[in-house]
Amino acid sequence: MQRRAVIQRSLIAGGVMLAGGVPLVVRAAMDAQRRQSPGESARAGLIERAIPVSGERLPVLGVGTNNYSPTSAEERAARKAVLHGLTTAGCRVIDTAPAYRESESVIGELLSEIGNRDQAFIATKVTARAGGRAEGVAMLAESMRRLRTKVLDLVMVHNMVGASVMLPVLREWQRDQRIRYVGITTSSDRQYPEMLGLMRSTPLDFIQVDYSIANRSAAAEILPLAIDRKTAVLINLPFGGRRDGNLFARVRDKRLPDWAAEFDIASWAQFFLKYVISHPAVTCAIPGMTKLANLNDNLGAARGRLPDAQQRTRMENYWDELSGSA
């Protein structure tokens, strides 16, 4: 009861209409999802986390789409297979942004061809630079057009550019039931002081931050504060990005430790993802995936046992030793 009262107070402070303790726009979408979800069997065994502000549950694996501007029919078909496979498996979060070239348009087209918009949780982003509020509002309208949706599940201020202007706008759109959740993103520890400041001063439904076994800075202050502030967390760059030198390059000729099997890890991708997902602050990791084989591999991280705190330390020590000798 106490927790519910706290949530209600913060929602009322944000001006969100409530129905049974859940924002109306959130509850309507939860009902729609329950009616249209792919069924219990597809979701069976998927690890889920609750969004603190609403209690709505999300599977811990989603997809990042900063590489969703295909240049051939084959590339487009591969991305379509990933988006179809993702929701067929019961996963939901699709992270995009106006800054990701054709990504929003491609996702809008592909979800409409597949017919799985209602199973997806679309997270996009907005900024306000020189044009301020008008620029941000125009960007939101364009995101809805490109994504072919009347309701955006989550909109985050991209790298916090124009956050002071855009967060009030996003709350207005949330009250008008055009946006379900509101947040901010970064992928650079240079921006952590700004992110911490906003997290302390403003109620946020979500943050998105970079975190991986090779990049643990967010665990110092950002992730603990997210728990305190009851803020959901999306994790970007769980594999250290798409460029040469990412985590996969660093383990190319390295063997998984035998003990990884104790928490159902069968590949390096699952090792990296289970490390991220097992942090108690994390709601969902959004690795970039443009290949069905990679999705299928990564789905293995959203099932089975997760490492506990002691096992996470063992993973860190193993990684530190391994990368020190790489």
Minimum distance between the CB of residue 83 and ligand NAP, rounded to whole angstroms?
A: 12
Cβ proximity to ligand NAP: between 37 and 67 the closer is 67
Minimum distance between the CB of residue 301 and ligand NAP, rounded to whole angstroms?
A: 9
Cβ proximity to ligand NAP: between 25 and 260 the closer is 260
Minimum distance between the CB of residue 22 and ligand NAP, rounded to whole angstroms?
A: 27
Phi-psi region of 279 (alpha: psi -120 to 50; beta: other; left: phi over 0): beta
Nearest Cα neighbor of 240 from 287, 190, 172 is: 287
Q: How far is the C-alpha of 52 from the C-alpha of 3, rounded, in Å?
A: 10
Q: Determine, following the binding rule CB under 6 A, whether residue 158 of this chain makes contact with ligand NAP.
A: yes
Minimum distance between the CB of residue 110 and ligand NAP, rounded to whole angstroms?
A: 15
Side-chain half-sphere exposure of 82, counting CA atoms within 13 A: 28
Q: Determine, following the binding rule CB under 6 A, whether residue 185 of this chain makes contact with ligand NAP.
A: yes
Q: How far is the C-alpha of 158 from the C-alpha of 66, rounded, in Å?
A: 13
Q: Which of residues 5-44 bind ligand NAP (CB under 6 A)?
A: none
Q: Determine, following the binding rule CB under 6 A, whether residue 66 of this chain makes contact with ligand NAP.
A: yes
The pair of structure tokens assigned to 170 is 């996003």
Of 31, 261, 291, 308, the one binding ligand NAP by CB under 6 A: 291
Cβ proximity to ligand NAP: between 7 and 295 the closer is 295
Q: How far is the C-alpha of 163 from the C-alpha of 160, rounded, in Å?
A: 5
Minimum distance between the CB of residue 16 and ligand NAP, rounded to whole angstroms?
A: 24
Give Cβ neighbours of residue 172 (< 8 Å, ≥ 6 apart).
Answer: none
> For the residues of 39-102, what is the DSSP string, one character each?
-HHHHTT--EEE-TTT--EEESB-EE-TT---SSHHHHHHHHHHHHHHHHTT--EEE--TTSTT
Q: Which of residues 67-126 bind ligand NAP (CB under 6 A)?
A: 67, 95
Cβ proximity to ligand NAP: between 102 and 297 the closer is 297
Q: Determine, following the binding rule CB under 6 A, whether residue 208 of this chain makes contact with ligand NAP.
A: yes
Minimum distance between the CB of residue 17 and ligand NAP, rounded to whole angstroms?
A: 29
Q: Determine, following the binding rule CB under 6 A, whether residue 297 of this chain makes contact with ligand NAP.
A: yes
Cβ proximity to ligand NAP: between 11 and 306 the closer is 306
Q: Which of residues 232-271 bind ligand NAP (CB under 6 A)?
A: 236-242, 246, 248, 269
Q: How far is the C-alpha of 57 from the C-alpha of 165, rounded, in Å?
A: 30
Q: How far is the C-alpha of 249 from the C-alpha of 322, rounded, in Å?
A: 12
Minimum distance between the CB of residue 281 and ligand NAP, rounded to whole angstroms?
A: 17
- Cβ(107)–Cβ(96) under 8 Å? yes
Minimum distance between the CB of residue 35 and ligand NAP, rounded to whole angstroms?
A: 28
Q: How far is CA 19 from the centre of its chain?
A: 26
The pair of structure tokens assigned to 120 is 């997806």
Cβ proximity to ligand NAP: between 141 and 249 the closer is 249
Minimum distance between the CB of residue 299 and ligand NAP, rounded to whole angstroms?
A: 9
Which of these segments, 50-58, 59-67, 113-121, 170-178, binds ligand NAP (CB under 6 A)?
59-67
Cβ proximity to ligand NAP: between 7 and 237 the closer is 237
Nearest Cα neighbor of 164 from 197, 188, 142, 190 is: 197
Q: How far is CA 204 from the centre of its chain?
A: 14
Interface ranges with ligand NAP (CB under 6 A) = 64-67, 95, 158-159, 185-187, 208, 236-242, 246, 248, 269, 286-291, 294, 297-298
